[in-house]
Amino acid sequence: MGLIFMSEQQQYETWSIKKPPVVSEHGLVSSQHYIASNIGANVLREGGNAIDAAVAASLSIGAVEPWMSGLGGGGFMLVYVAAEDQVYAVDFGMIAPKNLNEADYPLVGGNASDLFGWPAVQDDRNLRGFPSIAVPGYVAGISAALQRFGTRSWVETITPALELAEDGMIADWYATLMISTAAKDLACFPESARVFLPSGYPPVGEWGAAPPRLKLGNLGKTLRRLHDAGPRDFYQGEIADSLLSELSEGGNKISGEDLKNYAATILPADMGTYRDATVHVAPGLTAGPSLLTALEQLGRYTPETAPDANAYMAYAESLDAAYSERFETMGHNDDSKAPSCTTHLCAVDRDGNFVALTQTLLSLFGSKVMLPGTGILMNNGIMWFDPRPERPNSIAAGRRPLSNMCPTIVTHDGQRTALGASGGRRIMPAVFQLLSFLVDYKMDVGTALAQPRIDVSGNEIINIDNKLITPIQKRLAEKFSILASQHGVYPSLFACPNLVSSPLTGGSQIGAAFIPSPWAKVAKPEA
């Protein structure tokens, strides 16, 4: 094995950025966009609880970073209800249409070029375009969570997102970067091209002027309809009719029955232990079970006072073992080649209720299809399936695919912490190491988030943060092929986590957001 280094010009930045942790007595919201975090914090200030704040922030982030998530996606949420001392999981993952025909995805040889490096399918129809779209669960999931655990009305909660969509998305430099990475595929679909590629290329503001705003097609109109008619309209109503008409025209197999019968599930979260910590994860086809497996492996290692070379070797070996089991029993056994468009947020309120929420379109801009009638960017959830037959996660009609989302709530050392990340297969390794930093080394959330990490997610070469000292790099190179690299604004090498934490007996709450992510923020209620 050995080390693989990037060139010095590529490898080292010449600046240092910081995002200090935020402390509050009245709740916190941490997300990948400051506007969404601020909206969630305003909900807390107005008396809403953590679930109200998380859902409002969740809806809003779909209007400010539509490539990440939105109405056409799905996700998983953990909710800790303080009055019950119970953690619940909300499953609103995508589902393959019941009329899907597996034969429509024939293998053509070679490997695909997207997230999982699956064997290539004819015309990449499992990756992009109408055949890649699965039944979206997002609206059902967040509305079910709000109804079950929230205190505010649907109308109140959706209003900030509605106003953002009607105003239009700020096309700042980061938005231009994201659009540019997907421009070739966005150009293949008329409404996507019209919205995101005005004049045929990504939006660039005029010199000396504020960034332009992009109207996200009819998304504002659709959110207004959801505001007035309620969330079921997405599955049985005017919005559903529009979706079905345009999906059918594009050749997708989602039916009225698929939409009508979709329901999010709410059930107790899975629970495991790691040393003296209690760890709650989403059950089923998520990365939660693999996280518990990796922690079980790591529990055989005795930590020192700080994460050293032996600790990082233990991380690498534990993750390697967990992914081997995941590949054998659950699927996802190929190289990860591109970032996902997942986003994660956390919330805690003054009463100690917590939310860890991960939502996604899967790939960047999902299927790349924006439906003109609704302005909804649709997921490419079919890509989650292994296109090879007779595999644990093979494409099948009506099946739920395996996902990498890993929202987590952990109780440890008199603290409760909600955490998670975006980043495809890189999510679970990030959550895993953050848990170790918190539990094994008693780090506060800010220190834990700034601690360099490695990524071991089933690839032949593992990525390590180049901030790790040379002895750690050399120790890992004894067993693994490693690539020493840095975080970038395009998050292709490491996951982007955020977390919030609170003492069990009351006191100051603390939250931290991923430092290199330009718009990530922890917000607290302002007086």
Q: Residues with catalytic annotation?
A: 342
Q: Are 376 and 71 in contact (CB under 8 A)?
A: yes
Specify the amino acid at residue 296.
Answer: E
What gap in Å lies between CA 111 and CA 525, rounded to an integer? 48
Phi and psi, residue 95, nearest 5°? -135, 140
At 261, list the tokens: 């019968």
* Residue 75 DSSP label: E
Angle (nearest 5°) at CA 422 between 418 and 428? 70
Q: Could you tell me which residues come within 8 angstroms of residue 20 by beta carbon, excluding any fewer than 6 positions away?
A: 446
User: Tokens in use for 247?
Assistant: 């999906």
Query: Strands (DSSP E) along 269-392, which ranges?
Result: 270-274, 277-281, 343-349, 354-360, 370-371, 376-377
With DSSP H G I counted as helix, E B as strand and the rest as coil, what are the percentages for the chain, rounded to 5? Answer: 35, 25, 40
Helices (H) and strands (E) in the chain, counts: 15, 24
Whole-angstrom Cα distance, residue 417 to residue 271? 14
Q: Identify whether the C-beta of residue 17 lies closer than 8 Å to the C-beta of residue 486.
A: no
**How long is the chain?**
527
Q: H/E/C letters for each residue in 221-249? A: HHHHHHHHHCHHHHCCCHHHHHHHHHHHH
For 366-403, give one letter per residue: b (16+ CB within 10 A) or e.
bbbbbbbbbbbbbbbbbbbbbbeeeeebbbeeebbbbb
